Structure 1
Amino acid sequence: MAPTRPRQSFSKERFWEKLKDSKTQTYHDPTATRGTVSHGLRTIAWNPLGTLIATGAADRTLRVWNPERQNVRYSTELRGHSAGIERVAFNPVKDAELCSVSSDGVVKFWDVRTKAVINEIKGLGDAFTLAWCPDGESLVVGNKADNLFVLSPTQSNPIASHQQSVQTNQLVFCHSGKKIFLTTGEGRVKILSYPDFRPILYSSYDPGLPFTLNGHTSSCLSIDLQPTARLLATGGSDSIIALWDTTEWICQRSLIDMTGPVRSISFSFDGSYIVGGSDEGPGLEIVHAETGENVLSLKTAGPCPIVAWHPSRYWLAYSDLGSLKIWGVDPERK
């Protein structure tokens, strides 16, 4: 498939006018339920060009879809994990290299064109987080024992491990790959150097105390960096999305219209719009990141804990009642 051309960025006034009639496509997997295990998508990821989208489920189903062809016969199933898929992510510089993280403690690297496992790393415990360094040369995987592993897609053992002293949830890299942002059970975000995991900033009140972002009253669960890198978004179990200025590290605004814990956050390709996903309450709200205004509401059948904007189009992928759905794909396009 040819690379997808980026669409023009729309102002918040034009966004609703241009996209209010966009349709939602459902990508149904008829083989998804195995035995008594619920399917339940746990993770969604676009490849760098936006020509493929991968999904991982609690029943071990790992599938790569063509977003323009919703029939399952145009998808690819990847088999090999012995437990639920917790996280998937494509290599940011290789369009067909996918990494999957499972609670079986195994991280697998796939060539989605051939279905081949090109590398795997075992013994990582109950792994559930994943973030690629932007250069595609390394990645960080975390487990529920709060141990973070630095991995290479070409090596069968971890490069390093870094035990954290507090509950560590999700993480994201800065665009240069020199910093990582870690969300914690204390409702804070740690800013560390990469690959040595050392604090970069320190408190102005206590020079020996590492500086953290503190914007949530309970556990900080999700995080995303705006493509323009001006804002960092964090989501908590307090139902709040906090938007942080990345120069002064001041909270610019808080979005308080979510229902339930914010399980995922995603910025649109131009950084103009943001969506949060929760496992409580139906519907999704597309919000203008600079003003906090709701610009469009999407009706859904149930809660949508996972959301992911396309890397170059106003297409929004999300999970609804355990299935993949994509809003914005042209249903007439073949």
Structure 2
Amino acid sequence: MDLLGDQTVRPIPCNKENVVLVSMYVKDHVFRGHQDAVDQLVWHKTNADLLATASGDRTVRIWDSRASKCQANIPTKGENINIAWHPDGNLIAVGSKEDVISFVDTRKMKVVKDCPFRFEVNELTWNNAGTLFYLTSGNGTVNIFRLEWPVRSISFSFDGALLASGSEDHVIDISDTRSGERVADLPVDAAIFTIAWHPKKLLLAFACEDKEAPRGPRETGQLKLFGFPN
């Protein structure tokens, strides 16, 4: 795969020894559409025909390598420089020059969450099981976030120091964004629907299914608050 300065993406076949045979490849597919440099790309983990690109033009594009065309053009807020695709294919993480990681839901083809960091974010990736999310920083650290169950919602505290994630394991994990260490586990009665930190203090609001409510044709929910001492 060749990342070119003219905002194009070009796959180059390799032989069995993984040596690029520039003079022997049959067809040169050029993918055009980005309006700025393509800084990083990633292949879909299970669909070998799809790849995604991160560009300084503030978009993420998903390409069909077999059809040589763009399948989706997803706008983001920042100039993108790194990208990772979750192993299940349903989520793309893209990092910008402003140290904001945007999470793209590939089923909806849109950004569902923007997460700013207070340190320089360089590379990002998931492990093969999709349970760990890795961030490397400009200060020489590797930050690891554990995702053992499907995560439904994440939120950063107002000062960017804490990251809360709500998943289907009936626990809200709260981690230190600088060290990556877990600082609190908040047990809940049901799978989390959504979570959000207060904009000015360490007060976490979250909503989940109400297990004590009478059963009906639709799920019922409840809202709760959890506060850290200042």
Structures share a fold, TM > 0.5?
A: yes
Tell me, yes or no, if structure 1 residue 55 matches structure 2 residue 7: no
Q: Does the CA-based 8 Å contact 1:84-1:103 persist in structure 2?
A: yes
Tell me, yes or no, if structure 1 residue 70 matches structure 2 residue 17: no
Match of 1:136 in 2: 89
Tell me, yes or no, if structure 1 residue 99 matches structure 2 residue 46: no
Distance apart, 1:95 and its partner CA? 0.6
Give deviations 1:58-81, integer Å, cap 9, x for gaps.
Answer: 331310122135335522111111
Q: Does the CA-based 8 Å contact 1:103-1:127 persist in structure 2?
A: yes
In angstroms, what is the RMSD of aligned CA positions? 2.5
Give deviations 1:148-179, integer Å, cap 9, x for gaps.
Answer: 01112343420111111111111121222122
Task: Determine the C-alpha separation between the residues in 2 that align with 1:108 and 1:179.
Answer: 24
* Alignment-mate amino acid for residue 11 of structure 2: V
Give deviations 1:43-66, integer Å, cap 9, x for gaps.
Answer: xxxxxxxxxxx2222331310122
Consecutive unaligned residues in structure 1, runs of 5 or more:
1-53, 201-207, 214-334
For normalisation by structure 2, the TM-score amounts to 0.60
Q: 1:209 to 1:126 in 2, by over 3 A?
A: closer
Q: Does the CA-based 8 Å contact 1:66-1:75 persist in structure 2?
A: no
Match of 1:178 in 2: 131
Match of 1:146 in 2: 99
Match of 1:85 in 2: 38
Q: 1:193 to 1:161 in 2, by over 3 A?
A: farther
Tell me, yes or no, if structure 1 residue 190 matches structure 2 residue 190: no
Distance apart, 1:185 and its partner CA? 1.4
Q: Does the CA-based 8 Å contact 1:199-1:210 persist in structure 2?
A: no
For normalisation by structure 1, the TM-score amounts to 0.42
Q: 1:91 to 1:209 in 2, by over 3 A?
A: closer
Give deviations 1:228-278, integer Å, cap 9, x for gaps.
Answer: xxxxxxxxxxxxxxxxxxxxxxxxxxxxxxxxxxxxxxxxxxxxxxxxxxx
* Alignment-mate amino acid for residue 139 of structure 2: E
Task: Determine the C-alpha separation between the residues in 1 that align with 2:86 and 2:127.
Answer: 9
Q: Does the CA-based 8 Å contact 2:76-2:102 persist in structure 1?
A: no
Task: Determine the C-alpha separation between the residues in 1 that align with 2:126 and 2:114.
Answer: 17
Task: Determine the C-alpha separation between the residues in 2 that align with 1:211 and 1:169.
Answer: 14
Percent identity between the two aligned chains: 22
Q: 1:127 to 1:210 in 2, by over 3 A?
A: closer
Task: Determine the C-alpha separation between the residues in 1 that align with 2:116 and 2:122.
Answer: 13
Q: 1:209 to 1:152 in 2, by over 3 A?
A: closer
Aligned length: 154
Greater C-alpha Rg: 2
Structure ranking higher on relative contact order (CA contacts 8 Å, 6+ apart): 1
Give deviations 1:133-157, integer Å, cap 9, x for gaps.
Answer: 1111111000010110111234342
Distance apart, 1:210 and its partner CA? 6.3
Distance apart, 1:116 and its partner CA? 1.9
Report matched runs for 1:1-334 at 5 Å. Answer: 54-68=1-15, 70-71=22-23, 73-194=26-147, 195=151, 196=154, 198=163, 212=179
Q: Does the CA-based 8 Å contact 1:119-1:154 persist in structure 2?
A: no
Task: Determine the C-alpha separation between the residues in 1 that align with 2:50 and 2:33.
Answer: 16
Consecutive unaligned residues in structure 2, runs of 5 or more:
16-20, 156-162, 166-174, 181-230
Task: Determine the C-alpha separation between the residues in 2 that align with 1:107 and 1:210.
Answer: 25
